[in-house]
Structure formats: C-alpha cells, structure tokens
C-alpha cells in the first residue's frame, strides 16, 4: 500500500510491528494502541522513532500525555464512511497541539484527501496505487473553504474581510 507524504509516494519509514512480536530496540516502528498501552513509558522511551496506531472508537485522552514523544499517530478509517477519525485528528492537532506525523490508514480513497488534509492529516496509507498517484492533482480541487480548521487555510470569511479592508483602504 503506497504511503503518500508531502504530496508524493514515499517509502514508509515506519515498520509495522505485530502485537505478538518483540519490539525492536532501535529503528522506526508503528505499534498498536493495545501494545503501546501495556507499557507506554517503555515504548515511548525506546531509541528510534515510535508511532502508535489508535482505534477510531476510543477516546484519544489516553494517548494525549505521550504525544510529545511520538513520531507518528496513525488513525483509522475502517470504511471511508466512518468519519470518527476526522474528529480525533482535529482534536490532536488543534486542541492538543500535536506536531508529529498524523497518518490516515484504513480505507483511504482519493475523494477524501482534501477533507483529511484539512483535518490535519499529513501522511496517507492510500488503498489504491492510482489514487496515490493522483494525490497532488486531487488536493488542488478546492480553492475556497468556508469553515476554519487548524490547517491554516484562509476561510471565505477571512478573504471577504481582507477584501473589504483593502477596498476601504484604497479609497
């Protein structure tokens, strides 16, 4: 499954570690929430980058204390129609100031890329090769956004305000 970061297909720097496997002492890994929570201090302290995959039916509260020490949080879309991870993503980014990689996993399809970016995702385990290849073009679909999220894009409202101010300034 191709990983898209920075608008391009890249090699996944994280190794997915199965629940019953030993955690490597070094190297970059992605572990499940269940495994992480067995001994979060130990996992977070390991040398090498650590990412945690968090289920979409669990509050992120238990993850929040560890955010500063994680290189990646992977959230899940069991089907593309299950939108709980969008809320989790926004809370992680906007309420808890999470700055690491926020990865979308599960049924990640082309027609949700813009929503995901706006919610704060910056890495995507894309289901279809063709969708991954179309990523850069797809995210240009929309140039106007009504509502603010933490993504820094100017909302329509702000653009209108700016226009007003520049118009009245120019008079």
Partner 1 sequence: MYAYDELDRTIINERVEEFRDQVKRRLSGELTEDEFKMLRLQNGVYLQLHAYMFRVAIPYGTLSSKQLRALAHVARRYDRGYGHFTTRQNIQFNWIKLAELPDALADLAEVGIHAMQTSGNNTRNVTSDQWAGVAPGEIEDPRIWSELIRQYTTLHPEFSFLPRKFKFAITASEHDRAAIKVHDIGLRLHKNEANETGFEVLVGGGLGRTPFIGKTIKPFVHGHDLLSYVEAILRVYNQYGRRDNIYKARMKILVHELGIEKFAKEVEDEWLQMSDSALTIDDQVIEDIRSRFSYPAYEKLPQMPDELKKAAHDPQFEAWRRNSVAPHKVPGYAIVTLSLKPVGGPPGDATAEQMDAIADLADKYSFGEIRVGHEQNLALPHVARRDLPVLWKALDKIGVATPNVNLVSDIIACPGLDYCSLANARSIPIAQELTRRFANHETASMIGRLHINISGCINACGHHHVGHIGILGVEKNGEEFYQITIGGRADENAEVGTLIGPAVPYGDVADVVEDIVEAYLALRARPDEIFIDTVKRLGVEPFRERVYATR
Toward partner 1, which CB reaches closer, 143 or 166? 143
The span of 18-26, 29-37, 46-54, 86-94 binding partner 1 (CB under 8 A) equals 86-94
CA distances to 36, 110, 138 from 82, rounded to whole Å, are 24, 15, 21
What x-and-dash track marks residues 133-152 binding partner 1 by CB under 8 A? --------xxxxxxxxx---
Number of chain positions touching partner 1 (CB under 8 A): 34
Query: How many Cα neighbours within 13 Å face the side chain of 114?
Result: 11
Identify whether the C-beta of residue 2 lies closer than 8 Å to the C-beta of residue 126.
yes
What's the DSSP call for residue 74? E
Q: Which of residues 95-114 bind partner 1 (CB under 8 A)?
A: 95, 109, 111, 114
The span of 8-16, 21-29, 63-71, 87-95 binding partner 1 (CB under 8 A) equals 87-95
Does residue 161 bind partner 1 (CB under 8 A)? yes
Strands (E), 24-171: 29-32, 50-54, 72-77, 101-106, 123-125
Toward partner 1, which CB reaches closer, 10 or 163? 163
């Amino acid at each position: 499954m191709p990983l898209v970061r920075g608008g391009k297909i890249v090699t996944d720097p994280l190794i997915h570690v199965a629940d019953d496997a030993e955690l490597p002492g070094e190297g970059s890994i992605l572990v499940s929430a269940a495994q992480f929570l067995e001994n979060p201090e130990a996992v977070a302290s390991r040398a090498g980058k650590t990412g945690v995959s968090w289920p979409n039916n669990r509050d992120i509260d238990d993850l929040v204390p560890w955010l500063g020490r994680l290189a990646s949080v992977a959230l899940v879309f069991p089907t593309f129609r299950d939108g709980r991870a969008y809320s989790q993503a926004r809370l992680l980014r906007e309420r808890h100031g999470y700055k690491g990689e926020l990865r979308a996993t599960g049924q990640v399809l082309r027609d949700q890329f813009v929503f995901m970016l706006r919610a704060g995702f910056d890495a995507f385990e894309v289901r279809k090769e063709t969708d991954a290849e179309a990523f850069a073009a797809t995210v240009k679909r929309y140039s106007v956004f009504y509502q603010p999220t933490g993504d820094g894009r100017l909302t329509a409202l702000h653009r209108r305000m700016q226009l007003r101010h520049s118009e009245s300034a120019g008079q």
